[in-house]
């Protein structure tokens, strides 16, 4: 019935998450409100961890892509579940540091790391710095030498794989701002350069082909390409790379018709491809890293809004206006991302209306979604938008000087605030006269 296993109905006909009444949570904490089911997050972490251990014989690591949802609580959960952490900024790294995340399990990504960020990574002793380009390689080498260190790195490689996803979230093709190209010889040239650098230790390769991917075949193809390059590196340079990071991008169920691959099936099929390719190429199976983000936290979250007005334009559409919008969920205006929504206080009733859910920002395109089936709705109703645990809080802004919502985490039927709601004083705290 629902897009996520953590959702349900109670005796009042209200939507529940983690067994808790969403209407009650909205009344307690106000709206807009992000609600996350910690038990669901931990179940996803355990599923990935158990699968990678099973199919790679304990020679693998699941790293949580913190960009999907980053706060102290999220980093602490990943740490406690034995996951690594994928960070892409000094802010994400600082958040990880604040909870004592083991530095050896941190991978620092990004296409334009600053001197400050690279120094912070070296000082904290992050496990791997994922180098994106030659300029960054040279800069990191200089910084490492000046600090009497040897930076352990992976190279981000563009494997040229079509991920069958939105153009903005395909990152594995040659025309991408990320990584070294294989086709041009750029990647092999970078390997040769790194091999001669005093401050650099090249440990492996990384790729990421896109996001919200439902097919396994692109991941299998990417693994074959990357392993082929590892074999080529050994043949042409003598370097035997130890780590292969296959990235993330695993799709989730936003709509009832979506059919994402089960984590265990993905791990099984890709591991078979990895082992077959390594045997055919005559190379040792590298230590495998994967980077799920959306698939760990996305299904565990809902966003709650209060309806303000219902505006019917005869023969055109019905606008249902809520007290949030692109400032707390910019994904529709960016990607035309689709969601399932329902009136949380009428969740047991049939969804007979077709509406456009509009935000309160001063933009015509500020929409949560169009042509969305919804129950009969009126001012004061609570609308729940489902599967919003990823890339909602993390991409939120203060456009129109609207304070960001609170984040409430649920565990064992109990609720707690893990990110407080911003105040008006927070909005002006950096202003100067």
Determine contact, residues 323/116, Cβ cutoff 8 Å.
no
Determine contact, residues 91/415, Cβ cutoff 8 Å.
no
Q: Is the preceding omega at residue 32 within 30 degrees of 0, hence cis?
A: yes
Q: Give the distance, in angstroms, between the CA of residue 428 and the centroid of all CA atoms in the same chain.
A: 29
Determine contact, residues 200/137, Cβ cutoff 8 Å.
yes
DSSP 101: -
DSSP 219: H
Q: Which of 409, 380, 404 is nearest to 325 (CA)?
A: 404
Q: Which two tokens stand for residue 82?
A: 């034995």
Q: Known catalytic residue: 327?
A: no
Catalytic residue among 45, 70, 71, 362: 362
Rounded Cα distance, 122 and 139, in Å: 12
E strand map for 299-401: 301-313, 317-322, 341-343, 353-358, 367-374, 382-386
Residue 233 backbone dihedrals phi, psi, to 5 degrees: -60, -45
For 159, residues 6+ apart whose C-beta sits below 8 A from its C-beta are 172, 182, 207, 209, 221, 222, 225, 226
Residue 72, helix vs strand vs coil: helix
Rounded Cα distance, 195 and 274, in Å: 25
Stretch (H or E) spanning 22: helix 22-29
E strand map for 78-208: 84-87, 106-108, 128-131, 151-158, 180-181, 200-206
380: left (phi over 0), alpha (psi -120 to 50) or beta: left
Determine contact, residues 294/253, Cβ cutoff 8 Å.
no
| β-bridge pairing 406-411 and 414-419 | antiparallel
Rounded Cα distance, 114 and 143, in Å: 11
Rounded to whole angstroms, what are the CA distances from 280 to 216, 244, 273, 274, 288? 21, 17, 10, 10, 18
End-to-end alpha carbon distance in the chain: 54
Catalogue the active-site residues. Answer: 362
């Amino acid at each position: 019935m629902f897009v996520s296993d953590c959702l349900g109905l109670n005796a009042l006909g209200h939507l529940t998450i983690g067994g808790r009444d969403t209407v009650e949570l909205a009344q307690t904490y106000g709206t807009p409100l992000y609600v996350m089911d910690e038990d669901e997050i931990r179940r996803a972490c355990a599923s990935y961890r158990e699968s990678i251990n099973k199919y790679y014989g304990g020679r693998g690591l699941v790293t949580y892509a913190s960009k999907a949802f980053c706060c102290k609580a999220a980093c602490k959960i990943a740490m406690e579940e034995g996951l690594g952490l994928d960070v892409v900024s000094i802010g994400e790294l600082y958040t990880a540091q604040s909870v004592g995340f083991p530095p050896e399990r941190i991978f620092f990504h990004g296409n334009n790391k600053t001197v400050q960020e690279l120094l912070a990574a070296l000082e904290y002793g992050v496990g791997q710095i994922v180098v994106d380009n030659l300029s960054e390689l040279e800069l990191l080498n200089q910084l490492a030498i000046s600090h009497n260190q040897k930076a352990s790195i992976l190279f981000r490689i563009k494997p040229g794989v079509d991920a069958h996803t939105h153009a903005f979230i395909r990152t594995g093709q040659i025309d991408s701002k990320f990584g070294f190209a294989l086709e041009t010889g750029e990647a092999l040239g970078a390997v040769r350069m790194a091999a001669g650098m005093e401050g650099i230790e090249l440990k492996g390769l990384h790729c990421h082909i896109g996001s919200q991917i439902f097919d396994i075949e692109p991941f299998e193809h990417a693994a074959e390409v990357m392993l082929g390059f590892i074999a080529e590196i050994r043949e042409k340079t003598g370097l035997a790379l130890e780590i292969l990071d296959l990235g993330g991008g695993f799709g989730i169920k936003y709509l009832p018709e979506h059919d994402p691959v089960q984590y265990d099936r993905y791990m099984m099929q890709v591991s078979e491809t990895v082992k077959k390719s390594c045997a055919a190429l005559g190379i040792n199976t590298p230590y495998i890293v994967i980077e799920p983000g959306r698939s760990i936290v996305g299904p565990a979250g809902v966003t709650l809004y209060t309806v303000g007005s219902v505006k019917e334009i005869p023969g055109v559409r019905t606008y249902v206006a809520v007290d949030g919008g692109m400032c707390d969920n910019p994904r529709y205006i960016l990607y035309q991302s689709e969601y399932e929504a329902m009136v949380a206080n009428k969740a047991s009733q049939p969804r007979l209306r077709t509406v456009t859910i509009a935000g309160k920002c001063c933009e015509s395109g500020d929409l949560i979604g169009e042509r969305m089936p919804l129950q009969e709705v009126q001012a004061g109703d609570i609308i729940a938008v489902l599967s919003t645990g990823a890339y909602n809080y993390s991409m939120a802004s203060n456009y129109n000087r609207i304070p960001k919502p609170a984040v409430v985490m649920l565990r064992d039927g109990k609720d707690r605030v893990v990110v407080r709601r911003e105040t008006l004083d927070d909005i002006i705290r950096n202003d100067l006269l």
